[in-house]
Amino acid sequence: MPCFQCLRTGFLLRFCAAGFLWHHNPGQGEGEFRKLTQTQIRAQLAGKEVTDGVHWAEQYMRDGTFKAFHMGKATTGRWYARDGELCLEGATRERECKEVWLSGARVEFRVPGSGLPPFEGILKTLEPRS
């Protein structure tokens, strides 16, 4: 018959293992991306920026304009949400629309049917850029 200490240790190990698996399951909580609706895209992006922290940043102003900084090159244009997608239009680019998926502050831009992998970034408050 196992001793009480052994039973308690076994229970603690199973309890800790279950907690670890629940916490690290990508289908739970912050690890799960959810597709934003048109209204959610406006609410989440207006007055914020999405960036990889090094190579690029896209700033979405509350007035519907955007500023993009890619590898040191700045562009501007207009942004809006339509049919559940974020659309960007600029003087030097055609309209580009993509789905927005969010998990906490992590953002994925997805282009359905393109075969391209998601474009990933972090949602944060606007930073001064030039």
Q: What are phi and psi of 13, to 5 degrees?
A: -65, -45
| Tally of structural domains, the chain | 2
pLDDT of residue 94: 85
Provide the domain limits for residue 18.
Answer: 1-30
130 within domain boundaries = no
**What's the rounded Cα separation, in Å, for the pair 14 and 10?**
6
| pLDDT in the model for residue 24 | 39
Q: Which amino acid is at 71?
A: M
**Tokens 């690890």 sit at which residue?**
31
* Helix, strand, or coil (residue 127): coil
Mapped onto helix, strand or coil, the DSSP state of residue 40 is helix
Residues 14, 73, single domain; the answer is no
Note if the pTM is more than 0.85. Answer: no
CB atoms within 10 A of CB 45: 24
Low-confidence ranges of the chain (pLDDT < 70): 1-30
| Inter-residue contact 109 to 92 (CB < 8 Å) | no
Q: Classify strands 119-125 and 56-60 as parallel, antiparallel or unpaired.
A: unpaired
User: Do 82 and 19 share a structural domain?
Assistant: no
13 and 50 share a domain? no
Q: Does 91 fall in a domain?
A: yes
d(C-alpha 96, C-alpha 60), whole Å:
15
Q: What per-residue confidence (pLDDT) applies to 12?
A: 33
The answer to whether residues 55 and 106 belong to one domain is yes
pLDDT at 19: 37
Same domain for 48 and 23: no
Write down the pLDDT at residue 67: 95
- Phi and psi at 54, nearest 5°, equal -135, -60
Q: What confidence score (pLDDT) does residue 6 get?
A: 36
